[in-house]
Amino acid sequence: MIPGPFTYHRPSSVSDAIKLLVDLGDEARPLAGGHSLIPMMKLRLATPEHLIDLQGVDGLKGITREDDNIVIGAMTTQHDLLASEVIASWLPVLRETALLIADPQIRYRGTIGGNVANGDPGNDMPALMMMLGASYRLEGPDGVRNEAATDFYQGAYFTSLEPGEILTAVSVPVPATGHGYAYEKLKRKIGDYATAAAAVILTMESCKVVTCAIGLTNLSETPLLAEKAAEAVIGTSLDEAALRNAAALAEEIMLPAADGRGPIEYRKSVGGIMVMRALKRAAARVG
């Protein structure tokens, strides 16, 4: 299908983009890489009268380490993440996840800001950001504020962004040295959303888990943080019983929809399997 008519705007600064969003109101939408919004427009599921293209806005790209955080500009592409030595050195799980997003053509255009900001439960980065303890810098008519990723997602395509606000950067705490990590994703084909996916980061000492966090993708209308499952493996050596217990606890919070990827029980079952695989692979990488 063909999108409905719209007026195109290309601001050169964050303040100009915010002003456009405020002045144009509910009929305006910011445009990052376009891989979520444009398909919805083609299907007439979204019909904005104004598109505000952020490609020309200075200062929204780049990856830097600032003290104990990695700060990533919202318009940084998935390809930029894959090419970054900072990401490879300090946040390898982010690189691993980016490699599993769609295909190279999309990764050249798709941005991290667009991936985390639109509230699509099928996107890979939101659950990862929750697991990593990330926060988002939100800029709007009332100034700048920081929002924890765990507080940002409120429903499918519904976030805590206020009218006129733009997500301008993602800040991720640098994980502990020697941590283990994994992102396990089951999908029907290259480029598809996950049937189920699990992200894990952990530390171990004397073959026992000391810290752990688990994020779940596309297993509810929002990304999930499987806190009880993560707590359950602390102090264990991740033996088979501990892995199965973690999977069962993770499945308890899953609320996937039945769709072309499978019925609810199947998606929950493979979600548990992704949790076990991610825990085992993360443990193998410790140190």
pLDDT in tens, 205-240: 999 999 999 999 999 999 999 999 999 999 999 999
pLDDT in tens, 99-108: 998 777 878 7
pLDDT in tens, 147-182: 999 999 999 999 999 999 999 999 999 999 999 999
Residue 276: C-alpha distances to residues 5, 199, 232, 238, 268 (Å)? 47, 10, 13, 9, 13
* Identity of the amino acid at 238: L
What domains are there in the chain, each with its CATH number? Answer: 7-53 (3.30.43.10), 63-173 (3.30.465.10), 180-285 (3.30.390.50)
Residue 115: C-alpha distances to residues 177, 211, 232 (Å)? 27, 27, 30
